[in-house]
Structure formats: structure tokens, C-alpha cells
Amino acid sequence: MIKLGDYNKMTVVKEVDFGLYLDGGNEGEILLPKRYVPEGTKPGDELEVFIYLDQDERPVATTEHPLCKVGDFAYLEVSWVNEYGAFLNWGLMKDLFCPFREQKKRMQKGESYIVHVHIDEESYRIMASAKIERYFSERHPFYNHGQEVDLLVWQKTEMGFKVIIDNCYPGLVYEDQVFRYLHTGNRVKGYINTVRPDGKIDVTLQPTGRQQTLDFSETLLQYLKDNGGTCNLGDKSDAEDIKRQFQVSKKVFKRAVGELYKRRLIEVGNFGIKLK
């Protein structure tokens, strides 16, 4: 059985003037148009292709890689709008449809939105929805403190940034944990800070605890090596200056300085720090 809106490994059945036909099992033969056929492909070969629906709602294959697949959350730009809804560019010839009923506010051409990609149960079409809260996993999250995760930045709030964790759960990065520019749609690495009893998750953009100190101490050491062995920031420096220079908190900076000092790699003084 083929997976619509996803990647499938399929066998070439026959070659025709306008492409190849692939074995779609119960779905019958599925066309891979000629412009997507890898050079030298012949009947009997196996290809990994993405299956979606063409303009006539028939399954069709492509070797192109779209920006997302069914089950994904993604940040997509609106290509055009008509009386039925918006059509989003997801990297394929046929745009992804988001009907008005699945929009939180009327989508505008040229604007980008966080959406979830799914198969509509009634029409069996691949669609997008901006009402993404419906599609988060209902399972209780099981993460360890400090565990690395993939984040999609969702939206800015007064508390910080809402994010989508591992394409599955909502989470929050608090404002005082953000030491670099973030924008809706950014994909970044994050680290689990807290999983609360109600399932809400707090994440950071830096490794937590001892690992964070060790990671930044190596960054700071390399900075010193690349900048004549000196840094004019020290324990008494303003937190904003440290954030601007290194995108970490003053607390993390001081811990890293202490780590390097303990290893007898640096000297500390009113001038800042320098390599021994």
C-alpha cells in the first residue's frame, strides 16, 4: 500500500514516451513523469519517490523533495488565494491547499504561516491546516532533562517563543533563555529543561547544566585563540555585553571562565581574561 504525501520505494514496471510507470500495488500503476526520471533508469529498478495527487486528483510520483510531508508541521508561503482558500508553496508543481475553514485568519498571498499537513478524511486530498493545536500528540511526553530535540519556532509571546518539539509536542522557550535572533519558521536545536506533570514542556536553546559549561568553555577558548589570546569581558562585565558577544547568559559565561581558570588555561584580571 502506498503512503500518500510521503516517500515510497517503488519498482519500475514499464517505460513510455512520457515517463515511467511504477508498481503502486492496490493503487495500480503510478506515473513518474519524464522530467523526474533519473538518467539510466529502466524497468525492474527500484526508486524512492514522493507520491501526491495531480491536478485531476490522481496519484503521481516525483523524485523532487518537497518542503514537508503528511504528518509534518511546516512554515509555508502562500502562492495564491481563490474563493475556496489559500494555496501554499511546498516545493512541488501542485501547491498545497488550505481551505478557509482550516485558517485561523484569512491567509494573504506572499505571507507565510505555520501549518500541519494531513490527509483530509472526506476527500482523501492532501491538505494543510493552520489550526495546528489539533494535531499535537496526545501522548504524555517522555524526555530526559538536557535531551537534545529539534525545534520549529511557532510564535512570539510575552513569555518567550512557542515552539514545536520533534514535530510532535508544543513547548516554550522563555525570553531570558533566548540569546540570538529567532523568527517564526526557524528550525533550531533545543534541549529539554522541564517536563511538567500536565505535559507542558520548557526548553532551552543551549545545553543545560555541566554540559553547557563545558561546551561554552571550549567556545570561549577558541575565541581567545582566534583573537590574540585576550577577551575584554570578565566577571564584572554587563550581562547585555556578554549576551551580545557570545549569545549566552552571564551565569554561563562566569562558569566557563571558572572552568578555564581551573584548568590553568587563562588569567583573569580587571582587563578581562587572557590565555596563559
Instruction: With a cut of 90, say whether residue 224 has pLDDT above it.
Output: no
Contact 117, 126 (CB under 8 A): yes
Per-residue confidence (pLDDT) for residue 214, from 0 to 100: 61
pLDDT for res 208: 62
Give the pLDDT score at 276.
83
Overall average pLDDT of the 71-92 stretch? 97
Per-residue pLDDT reduced to its tens digit, 129-173: 999 999 999 999 999 988 999 999 999 999 999 999 999 999 999
Kindly tell me if the per-residue pLDDT of 256 is higher than 90.
no
For 171-219, the pLDDT digits (tens) are 999 987 787 789 999 999 999 989 998 999 999 887 765 555 567 788 8
% of the chain residues with pLDDT over 70: 97
Give the CA dihedral 234, 235, 237, 239, nearest 10 degrees.
120
How much is the average pLDDT of 21-34?
Answer: 94
Angle between helices 250-262 and 239-246 (to 10 degrees): 80
State what percent of residues in the chain have pLDDT above 90. Answer: 64
**C-alpha closest to that of 69 among 27, 8, 18:** 8
**Residues of CATH 1.10.10.10 domain(s) within the chain?**
209-275
pLDDT of residue 211: 59
29 pLDDT exceeds 60?
Answer: yes
Q: Tell me 91's DSSP state.
A: S
CA atoms within 13 A on the CB side of 253: 24
**CATH 2.40.50.140 location in the chain:** 6-62, 148-204
Write down the pLDDT at residue 203: 95
pLDDT for residue 104 is more than 90: yes
Per CATH, the number for 209-275 is 1.10.10.10
Sheet containing 230-231, strands listed edge to edge, beginning at the edge strand earlier in sequence? 230-231, 272-275, 266-269
Q: What rounded mean pLDDT belongs to the chain?
A: 91
pLDDT at 146: 85
CATH among 2.40.50.220, 3.40.50.80, 2.40.50.140, 3.40.50.10680 for 148-204 = 2.40.50.140
Which pLDDT belongs to residue 246?
79
Q: How many CB atoms lie within 10 A of CB 271?
A: 11
Give long-range contacts, CB 8 A cutoff, 24+ apart: 96-100: 96/126, 96/127, 96/128, 97/125, 97/126, 97/127, 97/128, 98/127, 98/128, 98/129, 98/130, 99/127
3-state secondary structure of 252: helix
pLDDT: is 104 or 223 the higher one?
Answer: 104
Q: How confident is the model at residue 77 (pLDDT cuts 50, 70, 90)?
A: very high
Right CATH number for 6-62 from 3.30.450.40, 3.40.1710.10, 3.30.930.10, 2.40.50.140?
Answer: 2.40.50.140
Predicted pLDDT at 99: 97
Indicate whether 116 pLDDT > 80: yes
Whether residue 258 has pLDDT greater than 90: no
Asked whether the predicted pLDDT for residue 2 surpasses 70, the reply is yes
pLDDT in the model for residue 209: 57
The pLDDT confidence band at residue 80, using thresholds 50, 70 and 90, is very high
Reported pTM:
0.78
